[in-house]
Structure 1
Amino acid sequence: MTISWAQALSTLHRLLGLTRRAGSSLRARGWRATWQRVTVHARPAAGPPMRALYMPPNAAFQTFSLPFSAQPVVSIVIPVYNHIDHTLACLRALAAHPPRVACEVLVIDDGSTDATPEQLPNVAGLRYEKRAVNGGFIEACNDGVGRSRGQYVALLNNDTVPQPGWLDALLDVFEKLPDAGLVCAQLLYPDGRLQESGGIIFADGSGWSYGRFESADDPRFASLRDTDYGSGAAMMVQRELWDRIGGFDLRYRPAYYEDTDLAFQVRAMGRRVLVQPHSRVIHDEGTSNGTDTRAGVKSYQVRNQQRFSEKWTTDLQKQLPVGTVPSPGALHSGQRQILILDEDVPRPERDSASLRQFNLIRLLIENGAHVVFVPTRREHGGQATEALQQMGVEVWYAPYLHSIAGWLRVHGPRFAVVMMVRHHLAKECLPLLEKFAPCARRVFDTVDLHYLRERRGAQIAGDVAMRRNAERTRLSELQVMQRCDVTLLVSVAERDHLQQDAPGVHVELISNLHEVAGPGEPFAQRADLVFVGGFRHPPNLDAMEWFISDVFPRIRRALPTVELHCIGAGAPNALLDLAGQQPGVRMHGFVEDIVPYMASVRIAVAPLRFGAGVKGKINLSMAHGQPVVGTSCAVEGMHLVDGVDALVADDAEAFAAAVVRLYSDPVLWQRLAEGGLANVTEHFSMEAAREGIRRTFFD
């Protein structure tokens, strides 16, 4: 296999970067923490989690119970015509894993002549409704929806086995996307392969089941996305919208193309049609009508394609040409496609950089972009990856992502913008982008100026080797900036600093991005101090070592009952031992939900002695109405004024005095709480970032 010069250069930059970062980590973190980081990089990439499919036991009929509500949010409508064994399997699956939402289950019997009329009335909670005459699938569905009582209707074939969580996943789309009108499930064959993840309609009205026979976990098919249509075998629609449309169009009786027509009707009314891959439903395709389009009911598929094409002639001119092989690039060709390259997917509950990136992605999607995220470690990040997929982000991972170079060779040309995160990754990827995505705008997201942080850490430590390493980082970062079209910084202070070192670099400010939560509990209902920050980040470790050793004992002498809540993963044993020796220090480690600490603890402390960028811990506290006491380094570039929206102190005695003063003064506390909220709203809210995002990614 031949390797291009771009690939060789990228590999060389990666190896050199890993070696240099390992040396830097040894000096800053010690050998144990460095070894842990090395093993993370060396281990094989983790693929998506294994999901066992649920199949109900095939047993003789015995009565069982279905979920039932007299005031359902969702009505599950199942049209049936014979095939009682399939119907029972479907109902048993609903009984075994009932949805969280209030629902009702209606079976609409379209004239069955097998055991259906005898057995189904004995299923507790089931609304069993018999039609007077057989009218076919379309009439049975329309009849069933007309009898339903829910705000939403889920149409479900009787030859399906819905998997746990299928209904809640469909409903979740409507709750998150107000413009959703029709949401379809991902259909699987009984062996687990994809039957379809939404459908594609070509310009002649013919269809393509997207993903057929592929893996359901393949990144091409695993993200929430708009689709041309979805199978009526498992879909959810708002009842009000269904009624306005008039249900399935009777011109397609008895069956076929009615679901496709419904999707086009939904879009014509200004609503979206989406496929939800987290809603998985096994479908025994062809149970009712077979698969031969030359005979039986299935033959109507050929006739109805013509009827559909005649009805939607104008709209079909916008569809993909016949003969096109569908791909993510082709399906999103009408959108601005943006690629983000980072080592891992963001985990917004763990660090401020991840929260900023997660909210940036949200804003890109809100502006109409299709976002693709490629973690260079190639790992599936579990719930973090799934959270992005549920936003509509196309996330790639092993085993479907073999190498960054190979992936870019195939996908690179489709991107208008590529954003690389942190200088060492950008240095590795730039040769590949210059070869495989030459027309894309290259954006370098610094997260913070690494060389500035490293230089300050070297000054605190008095370490000559660390100072030399900071200079190498400076040269690396500046070289990357020179080769990129836009460099993202998070603070005015960093921009001013960079203007001295690289005045010709095109810079945009996109700072931390926060939702403004509000004031939280009042002064009298709050108590204690809190620090938030992961301890694999050297500035946070140094901050807590200094605070617990030199500052907190002074605070305890004035406030004997106050406690320090220290939240963050990766605390080394030395810090834990130090905390154990100091009364009042509580080390919580990683906390899944830190909002209660933001809303109920009286003061946040940010005792950072070195660092760079904007401190998410301060933004997060202020967004919850929690005043902050920080060092000059901590509040740098955050538009904070001492005594107006924060208190600032740098030596141990002054820092302790500031905390004690604020802790005991409700008037000062209230003034800083209100000032902090105003600061976040003006400088660090989602709205504040929109203009910079437009210039960077859309102009």
Structure 2
Amino acid sequence: MKKVLFIGLVWPEPQSSAAGTRILQLVRMFQHAGYEIVFASAAAKSSYSHPLLQENVREEYIQLNDSSFDDFITCLEPHIVVFDRFVSEEQYGWRVRQYWPSALTILDTEDLHFLRKARQDAIKQNTIIDFYGDITTREIAAILRCDLSLIISKSEMKLLLETFRLPAELLYYLPFLESKIEASAKHAWTSFSQRKNFVFIGNFLHEPNWHTVQLLKTRIWPELRKRLSGVELHIYGAYASEKVYQLHQPKENFLIKGRADDARKTLETYRALIAPIQFGAGVKGKFIDAMQAGTPSVTTAVGAESMSAEGLWNGYIEDDLNSFVEKAALLYADLEVWHEAQEKGVTILNSTSSRERFETPFLIYVDELKEDLDTHRRQNFVGQILQSQYYNASKYMSLWIEEKNKNIR
């Protein structure tokens, strides 16, 4: 049986972050296609790590900067290796290429980290966006070293192709792989009258979410609650720290709820999701969950980036904060507007993130790429240079650390 080795930066936590959902979707896609799946990580598990063993996925603990990985991959003989974000490729890519070079290497970018960082810096420093920095160099180098990189956002595809002029054959647009919203699912949704209050949800280890909650607390909610008496805003998110809980203000109807055990079931009980996201990258899992739950939303252009279909949104897209408040109040109070927004969400998700639409073409492409991998690699000469010259620094640093650790033992 053909094998796929996933090298995880962390063990997947689909109930904590969209990144966990994304990597698990890829695992299941390859598994349904008949591959044996091995998931390996050097990270420690948490109580929220997904039980991969229950899905017949083999789990392996690996070590950083240790030659035991060389023996592991040689014995495993994987057909495909998937790196979970560019840092995993930096850590293990050279070992994969040296000890099992026949494996097709795929980088799942999740989102472009350098884009998120550039936007974050621009917001915090009140400057124009500057894409060029250390993280940009590292991430694009990892993309060039791999046989294929998965890009979750059309906007990020455009950036890589037009601004950085990366070869199109190294990139593949693969959005979230969701089940289509069928009529039966819609009929099971909680009705407008049964829902109440606003909600925001997001992992607090992710800086854009923390920034958004601060903006909600200081700018959006004080104005919005004046328009809708008795309505509350509930904030959910994994890994909420003390600074997050300090924002909990029952007298202001601003409530920190902590982790949601099931994001979609939680969202089903609320009338609207509000997320005035100021920076970030990729596709936001909170909106996928909201559409699956039949919950309309109000967000910004950055929040809705690469998710709207032909200008549609399941609510409103507003960058001006005053307009944001007005549209949130309208969406919350008007039944007709709310239902129309809900239907738009169905259209958006089914047209942009349907598993049925994207899985099969991708798997066919992977098979074709594997069949002619030598030609594909020869055409990526820059990638060969990066593998053999300056970027071998990570390899020799790793070997140095390994020898140092041996002496410590």
> Normalising by structure 1, what TM-score?
0.49
Map of 1:129-140 to 2, 5 A cutoff?
Answer: none
2:39 & 2:171 partners in 1: Cα distance? 23
Match of 1:671 in 2: 340
SS in 2 for 1:512: coil
Match of 2:154 in 1: 492
Map of 1:80-479 to 2, 5 A cutoff?
Answer: 335-377=1-43, 379-381=44-46, 384=49, 387-397=51-61, 405-412=67-74, 414-462=77-125, 471-479=133-141
Q: CA deviation at 1:460?
A: 0.3
Q: CA deviation at 1:364?
A: 1.0
Q: CA deviation at 1:524?
A: 1.5
Equivalent residues of 1:490, 1:614 under 8 A apart:
yes
Q: CA deviation at 1:641?
A: 5.5
Match of 1:584 in 2: 253
Equivalent residues of 2:248, 2:256 under 8 A apart:
yes
Match of 2:394 in 1: none
Equivalent residues of 2:115, 2:131 under 8 A apart:
no
1:643 & 1:553 partners in 2: Cα distance? 28
- Over 3 Å counting, the alpha-carbon distance change for 1:574 and 1:656 in structure 2 is same
Q: Does 1:507 align with 2:164?
A: no
1:625 & 1:616 partners in 2: Cα distance? 14
SS in 2 for 1:562: coil
Match of 1:555 in 2: 224
Structure having the higher Rg:
1
Match of 2:197 in 1: 528
Q: May I ask how many residue pairs the two structures share in their alignment? A: 360
Q: Percent identity?
A: 24
2:258 & 2:131 partners in 1: Cα distance? 30
Query: Match of 1:424, as an amino acid?
Result: V
**Larger displacement relative to structure 2 (569-578 or 451-460):** 569-578
1:654 & 1:408 partners in 2: Cα distance? 56
Query: Match of 2:226, as an amino acid?
Result: R
1:473 & 1:614 partners in 2: Cα distance? 20
Query: Match of 1:462, as an amino acid?
Result: Q
SS in 1 for 2:252: coil
Q: Does 1:623 align with 2:287?
A: no
- Over 3 Å counting, the alpha-carbon distance change for 1:560 and 1:374 in structure 2 is same
Query: Match of 1:498, as an amino acid?
Result: L
Match of 2:328 in 1: 659
- Aligned Cα RMSD in Å? 2.4
Which gives a bigger RCO, structure 1 or 2 (Cα 8 Å, sep 6+)? 2
2:348 & 2:57 partners in 1: Cα distance? 31
Q: What residue ranges of structure 1 are gaps of 5+ in the alignment?
A: 1-334
SS in 1 for 2:247: helix
TM-superposition CA deviations, 1:206-261 (whole Å, max 9, x none): xxxxxxxxxxxxxxxxxxxxxxxxxxxxxxxxxxxxxxxxxxxxxxxxxxxxxxxx
2:156 & 2:131 partners in 1: Cα distance? 19
Match of 1:303 in 2: none
Q: CA deviation at 1:688?
A: 2.9
Equivalent residues of 1:642, 1:648 under 8 A apart:
no
Q: CA deviation at 1:575?
A: 3.5
Equivalent residues of 2:245, 2:256 under 8 A apart:
yes
Which of 626, 642, 650 is the matching residue for 2:319?
A: 650
SS in 2 for 1:384: coil
2:12 & 2:279 partners in 1: Cα distance? 24
- Over 3 Å counting, the alpha-carbon distance change for 1:493 and 1:554 in structure 2 is same
2:284 & 2:158 partners in 1: Cα distance? 17
**Larger displacement relative to structure 2 (684-693 or 433-442):** 684-693
- Over 3 Å counting, the alpha-carbon distance change for 1:404 and 1:562 in structure 2 is farther
TM-superposition CA deviations, 1:435-469 (whole Å, max 9, x none): 111111111111001111100000000178x9889
Q: CA deviation at 1:598?
A: 1.7
Equivalent residues of 2:264, 2:292 under 8 A apart:
no
Match of 1:216 in 2: none
Q: What residue ranges of structure 2 are gaps of 5+ in the alignment?
A: 369-409
2:225 & 2:165 partners in 1: Cα distance? 46
SS in 2 for 1:368: coil
Match of 1:143 in 2: none
Match of 2:282 in 1: 613
SS in 1 for 2:92: helix
Q: CA deviation at 1:472?
A: 0.7
Match of 1:593 in 2: 262
Match of 2:375 in 1: none
- Over 3 Å counting, the alpha-carbon distance change for 1:509 and 1:349 in structure 2 is same
- Over 3 Å counting, the alpha-carbon distance change for 1:652 and 1:591 in structure 2 is same
Q: Larger % of helix: which?
A: 2
SS in 1 for 2:246: helix
**Larger displacement relative to structure 2 (668-677 or 679-688):** 679-688
Q: CA deviation at 1:554?
A: 1.1
1:689 & 1:381 partners in 2: Cα distance? 31
SS in 2 for 1:396: strand
1:358 & 1:514 partners in 2: Cα distance? 12
1:641 & 1:575 partners in 2: Cα distance? 36
Query: Match of 1:455, as an amino acid?
Result: A
Equivalent residues of 2:200, 2:235 under 8 A apart:
yes
- Over 3 Å counting, the alpha-carbon distance change for 1:614 and 1:404 in structure 2 is farther
Query: Match of 1:693, as an amino acid?
Result: F
Equivalent residues of 2:110, 2:151 under 8 A apart:
yes
TM-superposition CA deviations, 1:253-308 (whole Å, max 9, x none): xxxxxxxxxxxxxxxxxxxxxxxxxxxxxxxxxxxxxxxxxxxxxxxxxxxxxxxx
TM-superposition CA deviations, 1:90-109 (whole Å, max 9, x none): xxxxxxxxxxxxxxxxxxxx
TM-superposition CA deviations, 1:339-362 (whole Å, max 9, x none): 111122111111111111112211
Equivalent residues of 1:606, 1:618 under 8 A apart:
no
Q: Does 1:638 align with 2:307?
A: yes
1:427 & 1:407 partners in 2: Cα distance? 14
1:493 & 1:468 partners in 2: Cα distance? 16
Query: Match of 2:201, as an amino acid?
Result: V
- Over 3 Å counting, the alpha-carbon distance change for 1:601 and 1:616 in structure 2 is same
SS in 2 for 1:359: helix
1:516 & 1:624 partners in 2: Cα distance? 12
1:655 & 1:392 partners in 2: Cα distance? 46
